[in-house]
Amino acid sequence: MVEKLFKKTVDERQELELMKVERSTFYFIVYTLCAFVFIQQFVNPHDMRLIAGECVVLLATLVFYVVNCIRRGVWDYKNNLNMKSYIRQSLLTFICGLVLAPLMLHFGFHAPFRYYLIAGVGTGISVGVVTFLLSFTIGSIIKRRQKELQDKYDDE
């Protein structure tokens, strides 16, 4: 009975088009939430409760995305799972931390420039290292999962 209610009524071309729409909608939601959290921090930097809901939704969405990518043994259309892409991702997050942390501190607190510089460098390094470690770990897990899935399909 349930299968009849949720039976597919689209062909393969329509299914591919729906997948493109779903993907673009997902990225739109994620980037909109990130922008909203970022803007809220500039508007009212002293009250983190205003962005708690958005942060929870964003974190839950991204964790769900990563877990499903690992389960299916895929990651991204553009990035390869190699050391060069891990370093590129970590450098990008380093630069973001280096620039955004002092900006956010400047709007929230008024302190001497050296404090902003220390905060930016510290945040950039820590975020870059964490990004590299996460990228490397997830990449290794996905490579192993791809091998398992390939072996499974070769046996069938």
Delimit the domains of the chain by residue range: 10-72, 78-156
pLDDT of residue 6: 67
pLDDT of residue 3: 65
- Mean pLDDT for the stretch of residues 131-135: 94
Rounded to whole angstroms, how far apart are CA atoms 57 and 43? 20
pLDDT of residue 34: 87
Q: DSSP letter for 73, please.
A: T
Contact between residue 104 and residue 42 where contact means Cβ atoms under 8 Å apart: yes
Q: Report pTM.
A: 0.70
Contact between residue 106 and residue 116 where contact means Cβ atoms under 8 Å apart: yes
